[in-house]
A and B are shown apart, each in its own frame.
Chain A
Amino acid sequence: MPSSASEPYDLTVIGAGAAGLAGAGAAARLGLSVALLDASGQPGGQYFRHPAPALGARRPQALHHDWSAFTHLRRGLASGGIDHRTFHHVWTVTRDSDGLWSAHALTGADGDGDRPARVRARAILLATGAYERQLPFPGWTLPGVVGAGGAQAMLKSGLVLPGKRIVVAGSGPLLLAVASSLAGAGADVPVVVEASGYLGYARHPRALATNPHKLLEAAVHGSALLRHRVSLRTRSAVTEAHGTDRVEAVTVSRIDRHWRPVPGTDRRIACDALAVGHGLIPQTELVTGLGCATRRTPDGTQALSLDDFQETSVAGLWAAGETGGTGGWQLARTEGELAGIAVAARLRGEPTLTGSARVRKLRRRRDRMRAFADAMAAAHSPGPGWSDWLTDDTDVCRCEEVTAGRIHEAVTCFGAHDARTVKLLTRAGMGWCQGRMCATAVACLAASGTAEGTVPPSAERRPLAVPVPLGVLGALEEPPSTAESAD
């Protein structure tokens, strides 16, 4: 731990999910001083999200099959060397003139704390996870339509359900887990609507065979779904949500392998909630502005390009977990530990640390799980035909109320063939969420006029990762030669 406020940490870890906890723990065990910053009040991230103590939940582990892994990770926080700073909303990371990194954060539960923080360190480990990918459809702005991951988060943190009869739809392995949690918590889940077939997995037999825990997971969810009489409808999509004040029903259509709805296959299913998501998007904006290279994942998102020891293309910046591509909590934990060791090896000038048997094992495990994650991503990659279920008046950007028709006009009449130009000409993506909800859709629609025509990469460039009050910005300390943390 730094001896004074002005002394930098060895490592700042951003995000206290599986990757961040594992990374912070590994680095601290090797003697580094670590600041672990997280926006939430308790560790766990998205996967190990659990009710706040004030809710008085007696069995927070009820929704988690892997609770013991989490308690093990959490124990690392208590063993010294880690300064866990809760309610820190990092809005930017900068490199200072002395070569140290500064993480600038708002504080307080909602970022409304009195004093912002500036946490300095010799290295950064980005473990900010991912957020859910959404594709618009008519009616998706109705109350009762929620993100699939969002529905699970609500359940995990507040023990509340978004409705009584919930259709789960979209694409990706998360859907089965969500359906099984919702059904287990008492919701009626009539159907899980999955856009891809699971046959895609069969194209990667090796990745499957070497990841038996994934099969086990699927079996656990599968049997839960059977028990709750949840049917699974593959190669199908929710192409419209109906209702006036709230969703009352959805239309489910068969889709072809390009995700084009097949005429004459529509079926209406009554429900009072729809949990929908199309996989996860790596949350990398804190470092892409610093020049970190990205790679296009098989399901069309942009993830950070990482070397064998989890370092980004910018020296001193490491990343672990979903920021390098969606792969689940076990991969995140493995990568986090690997990164923590690699940072310690670099900062302590002991390269032999990365040659240990443990590191070799972590690397093998990481490679194996990455291969599986990539196979899974390929199987759930959105096909270009999804835009066929949009109507001209479907809102694509909800914040700025930009319809598909207006985006189409920008593409055809003004030659906007990329997301940035569409944004400049229509305001799509300029609003409160800064394109987190619509960037994928906008990029697809912009590319529809080009040769590429498929889901193009969305550039994660958001210089302000969270909104910052001007009063806070204006009152930041002037850049000091002897910089110090603001708290």
Chain B
Amino acid sequence: MIGAACAYYAARSGLSVTVIDRGPVAGGTTGAGEGNLLVSDKEPGPELDLALLSTRLWRELSERLPAGIEFEAKGGLVVASGDPGMNALRDFAAAQTKAGVQADEVPAPLLRDLEPHLSPALTGGFHYPQDAQVQPALAAAHLLRASGARIRTGEEVTAVLTGAGGEVRGVRTPAGDLHAPYVVNAAGTWGGELARLAGAFLPVMPRRGFVLVTEPLPRVVRHKVYAADYVADVASGSAALQTSAVVEGTPAGPVLIGASRERVGFDRTLSVEVLRRLADGATALFPMLAKVRAIRTYTGFRPYLPDHLPAIGADPGVPGLLHACGHEGAGIGLAPATGLLVARLLTGDEPPLDVRPFLPGRFAPAA
């Protein structure tokens, strides 16, 4: 997704672009996500600024791209069960509001107006009308196609070519050398490996997540609904398993249930314990889901950087190499702003926001 967005905005800026992927389109984390476009889970700071810009860009894109991307401005609903949780949510929303987020408190009696099947035991929540969703694989495929870039899928980059001064000159694949003065590393969770090929350093690590998919249902869940502890889990850096209930319907019918986070490398083995916790969390929010059957589950690896901010911008050591990866679980949402930022950096135009917090140079190479 990030690569597609970089290609789209770079090509629109008049650059000649080739996209290379060792797999198919959306074959990595993009195809394993839910397609969240969220501002609600972000505290004020650089990532929220990036998300707010992306929210505007996604709305533009949704008008330019075919309806097939399944863009839905459905809004988010964050719920709390208990007064301490509700108070924390209130403080969080107040700070977000100052940063430009729209957040409306929903008292308990009105929760069921927004989501009729929510558990009556909840204390209250906040409605975030800016939250939205796309079908990520379709969004990436359509964006890539709309970019007009040359696309070379199923081709793995085996080397990054450099010139006498250490500057990048292109990449090598089994099909031959491709020369270009700029190389953008949008390899997501595998961005650390690509950086290493170029002689650079980027500590991207996989953070595994499972999604449970139910049988197709009529629209019983209207918003993206999640429990307040999700925000704390997203911000945590712990390697241990964390789960929080995130529930949403899709235009195709199935309800998607997340979210788990654990750092276990690239292990795809099914974890019954993760599924148990996801199902438990979802049925606590929506008791009617207890009778509904999960028909499949999938897993993906979020590209995790230690400070939870993506790496966007020039590599400090290798001229011509730019990074655009490490967006963790927010890559679909943050893609357009990242792509625009990269395009502006490539053309030397004024970036749409301050790029400094994202610069890859913030990670000192390991000793």
Are A421 and B270 in contact (CB-based, < 8 A)?
no
| A424 pairs with B137, CB closer than 8 A | yes
- Contact in complex: B294, A464 (CB < 8 Å): yes
Asked if A414 lies at the interface with its beta carbon under 8 angstroms from chain B, I say yes
A417 to B299, CA, bound (A): 21
Q: Which of B216, B280, B293, B296 contacts A463 (CB 8 A)?
A: B296
Residues from chain A with a CB closer than 8 A to the CB of B270 are 92, 94, 289, 463
Interface centre among B153, B214, B275, B299 (most CB of A within 10 A): B275
CB contact list, A418-444 vs B, under 8 A: 418, 420-421, 424-425, 427, 430-432, 434
Q: Is B345 an interface residue (CB 8 A)?
A: no
Given known contacts A92-B270, A421-B27, is B295 in contact with A467 (CB within 8 Å)?
yes
A-B contact count (CB 8 A): 118
Q: How distant is the Cα of A471 from the Cα of B287 in the complex, in angstroms?
A: 9
Question: For this complex, into which size category does the number of interface residues on chain B fall?
Answer: 35 or more
Is there contact, CB below 8 Å, between A468 and B154?
no
Q: Which residue of B lies closest to A470 (CB)?
A: B279
> With A94-B272, A417-B24, A421-B27 in contact, is A474–B290 under 8 Å at CB?
yes
Q: State whether B138 touches A425 (Cβ < 8 A).
A: yes
User: Is B276 touching A476 in the complex (CB atoms < 8 A)?
Assistant: yes
B24, A421: Cβ atoms closer than 8 Å: yes
How far is B172's CA from A177's CA once the two chains are assembled, in angstroms? 56
Contact A473 B24 (CB under 8 A): no
Question: Which residues does chain B contribute within 8 Å of A469, judged by CB atoms?
Answer: 290-294
Q: Mark B195-214, 1 if CB is under 8 A from A, else 0.
A: 00000000000000000111
Residue A462 lies at the interface, judged by CB distance under 8 Å to chain B: yes
A214–B294 alpha-carbon span in the complex (Å): 42
Which residues of the other chain, B, contact A290 by a CB distance below 8 angstroms? 269
Give CA–CA (A315, B214) in the complex, Å.
33
Contact of B252 with A427 in the complex, beta carbons under 8 Å: yes
Does B298 have its Cβ within 8 Å of any Cβ on chain A? yes
Q: Does B63 contact A (CB under 8 A)?
A: no
Bound together, the chains give a CA A421 to CA B154 distance in angstroms of 12
- B281-303 CB mask vs A (1 if < 8 Å, else 0) is 11100000111111111110000
Please state if B145 and A289 are interface contacts (CB–CB under 8 Å). no
Cβ of A478 under 8 Å from chain B: yes
Q: Are B283 and A463 closer than 8 Å at their CB atoms?
A: no
- Among B24, B141, B289, the one with the most A-chain Cβ atoms within 10 Å of its Cβ is B24
- B90 CB to closest chain A CB (Å) equals 29
Residue numbers in A under 8 Å from B91 (CB-CB): none
Known contacts A416-B25, A463-B270, A467-B294, A474 near B280 by CB under 8 Å: yes
Asked if B25 and A400 sit within 8 Å, CB to CB, the answer is no
Contact A470 B272 (CB under 8 A): no
Q: Which residues of chain B have C-beta atoms less than 8 A from A470's C-beta?
A: 212, 214, 257, 279, 282-283, 289-294
Question: Would A473 and B26 count as touching, CB distance under 8 A?
Answer: no
Residues of B within 8 A of A427 (CB): 252
- Total number of A residues with any Cβ neighbor in B under 8 Å: 37
Query: Which chain B residues numbered 136 to 194 have a C-beta less than 8 Å away from chain A?
Result: 137-138, 141, 144-145, 151, 153-154
A351 located at the interface, meaning its Cβ lies under 8 Å from any Cβ of chain B in the complex? no
Q: Mark B105-131, 1 if CB is under 8 A from A, else 0.
A: 000000000000000000000000000
Q: Does B85 contact A (CB under 8 A)?
A: no
Asked if A49 lies at the interface with its beta carbon under 8 angstroms from chain B, I say no
**Shortest CB distance A155–B (Å):** 29
Q: Is B273 an interface residue (CB 8 A)?
A: yes
CB distance from B27 to the nearest CB of A (A): 7
The answer to whether A424 and B26 touch across the interface, beta carbons within 8 angstroms, is yes
* A454-475 at interface with B (beta carbon < 8 Å): 462-464, 467-471, 473-475
- Asked if A92 contacts B272 (CB within 8 A), the reply is yes
* Candidates A92, A102, A414, A463; contact of B145 at CB < 8 Å: A414
Most buried by B among A92, A94, A425: A425
List of B residues within 8 angstroms of A475 by Cβ: 280
Within A352-400, the residues touching B (CB, 8 Å) are 400
CB neighbours of A471 from chain B (8 A): 279, 283, 289-291
Q: Is B31 an interface residue (CB 8 A)?
A: yes
- Chain A residue numbers with a CB within 8 Å of B289 are 470-471
Report if B215 contacts A (CB, 8 A): yes
CA distance A55 to B282 in the complex (A): 42
B342 CB to closest chain A CB (Å) equals 23
Q: Is the CB of B272 within 8 A of A476?
A: yes
With A416-B25, A470-B282 given, is the CB distance from A430 to B292 under 8 Å?
A: no
A417 contacts B154, C-beta separation under 8 Å: yes
Contacts of B144 in A (CB 8 A): 414
- Residues on A with C-beta less than 8 A from B273 are 478-479
Find chain A residues with CB under 8 A from B25 CB: 414-416, 421, 425
Contacting A at CB under 8 A, from B223-272, are 252, 254, 257, 268-272
- Nearest residue in B to A413 (C-beta to C-beta)? B145
Per a CB cutoff under 8 Å, which of B151, B216, B271, B272 touches A415?
A: B151
Q: Do A467 and B137 form a contact, CB below 8 Å, given A92-B270, A94-B272? A: no
Q: Can you spell out 25 A-B residue pairs with CB atoms less than 8 angstroms apart?
A: A92-B272, A94-B270, A102-B272, A289-B270, A291-B269, A414-B144, A415-B25, A415-B153, A416-B25, A417-B154, A418-B24, A421-B25, A424-B26, A425-B26, A427-B252, A434-B295, A464-B296, A470-B279, A470-B290, A470-B293, A470-B294, A471-B279, A473-B275, A474-B276, A476-B272
Supplied contacts A470-B214, A473-B212, 15 more A-B pairs, CB within 8 Å: A102-B272, A414-B25, A416-B24, A417-B153, A417-B154, A420-B24, A421-B27, A434-B295, A469-B290, A470-B257, A470-B282, A470-B283, A470-B291, A474-B276, A474-B283
Closest 7 CB pairs of A and B: A471-B290, A473-B279, A474-B280, A474-B279, A424-B137, A467-B293, A421-B24
